[in-house]
């Protein structure tokens, strides 16, 4: 009964997270900032940018892992939930295979050290290529990279189940190291084990070696499926029932020490890397993004802002514009909206209040007098009322007061107004 409660509790939480993810990405409702609880978003916003709320969330995630193990991977990670769905769909094919404990490779830790090192060095560009939340968001928004990644992942799950989680995912590697020291673990009672192999067959991570009576809690994602399949009560989740052999830290200390050195080194070089990865052309960014180098190296490319923009002017990164950006070709930025600032989990778009957003200069409007027909519609439409139009004269834009929202360009019947990005966003007096 106890095992069933664990399983059902996890499934209910995972289902709630899946529903919230879907509602948020399809811009229906965002009742809980579920994406603020994503590990990389919390690290980026909390440690790199210094947001206190994100630091608290990150601390909560770390404490949960030290208490319960890699529960994050089976309940909170959107990409993890997708893989769980796949394992259910592919279950008939898995039954034909003999259960074998999966190998756990050291390169997973090395990759995590390098990728998080670049994050601490100032750029998230490399990490977001493998970060499960970033990839999931990219795919849910229909971006080519995300869809391609998910297609490859689907094939990988078919042949190797959750190999991505155990040997590729940088977040999984970090949480796996912490899980090694978690208070509660999946444990095996050798006296009760009949070596039937049902637990190993059900494990999506290959964390159970039933022949040697060992469980790798470092790769175990705490899905609790093994508990449901054990017919003899040999498996349980909790504290050890008896004294366990003293854990030797020698190898683990070496691994942690080496990875720490690698992370620090890459972080140092990452401070130089971000300059090389910054787009050179001028780009109009959402209010609160700062400048192009800052935004492009902090944005997780999850496209949550793209999906939730009511005016649909926030566009995903592309080959021509390799960063999330504003496109005024069909609409403008609503003066009374700051949705993108409300929902960005990484801190790439600062959480400005509506009043601050309405004074943030993101671009500047200019009038081409060779095209302008002096209709005056731009002056009527300007939400800040900083366009002066006298009878028979061309409209005069007070550039020092213009925030570049694009409302004037959107109403102009002859397209005589263009909006040009500024080098550095700032809040006007």
Average pLDDT over residues 336-362: 94
In a domain, 279, yes or no: no
Do 130 and 196 lie in a common domain? yes
Instruction: Tell me whether residue 403 is in a domain.
Output: yes
Residues 228 and 298 in one domain: no
Q: How far apart are the first and last CA of the chain?
A: 63
Residue 164 lies in a domain: yes
260 within some domain: no
Q: CATH number, domain at 409?
A: 3.30.70.20
Looking at the structure, do residues 196 and 309 belong to the same domain, yes or no? no
Q: Tell whether 210 and 349 lie within a shared domain.
A: no
- Same structural domain for residues 99 and 208? yes
In this prediction, residue 103 carries a pLDDT of: 81
271 falls within a domain: no
| Same domain (yes/no): 341, 219 | no
Q: What does the alpha-carbon distance between residue 20 and residue 18 come to, in Å, rounded to a whole number?
A: 5
Mean pLDDT value of segment 381-408 = 95
Q: Which of 202, 219, 238 is the last residue of a domain?
A: 238
Per-residue pLDDT reduced to its tens digit, 257-271: 556 656 655 655 555
What pLDDT was estimated at residue 429? 83
Q: Which residues pair with 342 in a beta bridge?
A: none
Mind giving me the DSSP string for 355-379?
A: HHHTTEEEEEEEE-TTT-----HHH
Question: CA 138, CA 160: separation in Å to the nearest integer?
Answer: 23
Q: Which of 171, 203, 238 finishes a domain?
A: 238
CA distances from 369 to 99, 379, 414 (A): 75, 15, 11
Mean pLDDT, range 281-309, rounded to an integer: 91
pLDDT computed for residue 320 by the predictor = 83
Q: Are residues 133 and 15 in the same domain?
A: yes
- Other CB atoms within a 10 A radius of the CB of residue 5 amount to 10
Beta partners for 387? 397
Position 403 scores a pLDDT of 97
Number of structural domains (the chain) is: 2
**Is the residue at 358 inside a domain?**
yes
* Best CA proximity match to 122, nearest among 244, 290, 277: 277
In a domain, 337, yes or no: yes
**Residue labelled with tokens 């409300």:** 342
Q: Indicate if 21 and 154 belong to the same structural domain.
A: yes
On whether residue 115 sits in a domain, the answer given is: yes
Tokens of 73: 């991977």
Residue 334 is encoded by which pair of tokens?
């609503």
- Give the pLDDT band of residue 408 (cuts 50, 70, 90): very high
Which range is least confidently modeled, 11-15, 58-62, 277-281, 367-371? 277-281
Residue after which a domain boundary falls, among 199, 222, 238? 238
Q: Which domain covers residue 398, as residue numbers?
A: 292-427
Structure-token match 């637990």, residue found: 199
Q: What backbone torsions phi and psi does residue 187 show, to the nearest 5 degrees? A: -125, 155
DSSP state letters, 314-338: EE---SSS-S-EE--SS----TT--
Using one digit for the tens of pLDDT, what is the confidence trace for 186-197?
A: 999 999 999 999
Same domain, 190 and 66: yes
């Amino acid at each position: 009964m106890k095992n069933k409660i664990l399983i059902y509790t996890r499934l209910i939480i995972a289902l709630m997270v899946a529903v919230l993810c879907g509602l948020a990405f399809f811009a229906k409702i965002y009742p809980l900032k579920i994406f603020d609880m994503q590990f990389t978003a919390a690290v980026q916003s909390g440690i790199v940018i210094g947001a206190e709320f994100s630091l608290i969330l990150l601390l909560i995630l770390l404490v949960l892992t030290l208490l319960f193990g890699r529960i994050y991977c089976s309940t909170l990670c959107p990409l993890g939930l997708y893989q769980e769905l796949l394992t259910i769909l592919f279950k008939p094919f898995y039954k034909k295979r003999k259960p074998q404990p999966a190998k756990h490779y050291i390169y997973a830790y090395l990759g995590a050290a390098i990728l998080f090192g670049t994050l601490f060095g100032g750029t998230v560009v490399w990490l977001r290529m493998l970060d499960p939340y970033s990839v999931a968001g990219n795919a849910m928004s229909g971006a080519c990279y995300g869809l391609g990644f998910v297609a490859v992942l689907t094939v990988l799950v078919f042949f190797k189940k959750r190999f991505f989680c155990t040997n590729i995912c940088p977040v999984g590697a970090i949480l796996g190291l912490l899980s090694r020291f978690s208070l509660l673990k999946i444990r095996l009672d050798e006296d009760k084990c009949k070596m039937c192999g049902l637990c190993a067959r059900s494990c999506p991570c290959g964390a159970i070696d039933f022949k040697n009576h060992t469980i790798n809690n470092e790769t175990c994602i705490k899905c609790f499926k093994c508990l449901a399949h054990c017919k003899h009560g040999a498996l349980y989740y909790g504290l050890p029932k008896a004294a366990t052999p003293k854990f030797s830290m020698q190898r683990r200390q070496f691994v942690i020490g080496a990875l720490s050195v690698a992370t620090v080194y890459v972080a140092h070089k990452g401070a130089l890397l971000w300059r090389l990865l910054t787009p050179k052309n001028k780009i109009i960014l959402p209010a609160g993004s700062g400048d192009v180098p800052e935004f492009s190296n902090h944005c997780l490319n999850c496209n949550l802002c793209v999906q939730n923009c009511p005016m649909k002017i926030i566009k995903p990164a592309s080959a021509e514009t390799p960063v999330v950006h504003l496109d005024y070709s069909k609409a403008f930025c609503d003066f009374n909206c700051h949705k993108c600032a409300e929902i960005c989990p990484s801190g790439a778009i600062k959480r400005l209040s509506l009043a601050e957003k309405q004074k943030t200069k993101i671009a500047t409007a200019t009038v081409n007098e060779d095209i302008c027909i002096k209709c005056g519609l731009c002056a009527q439409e300007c939400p800040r009322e900083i366009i002066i139009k006298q009878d028979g004269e061309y409209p005069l834009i007070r550039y020092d007061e213009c925030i570049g929202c694009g409302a004037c360009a959107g109403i102009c019947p002859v397209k005589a107004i263009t909006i040009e990005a500024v080098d550095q966003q700032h809040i006007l007096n």
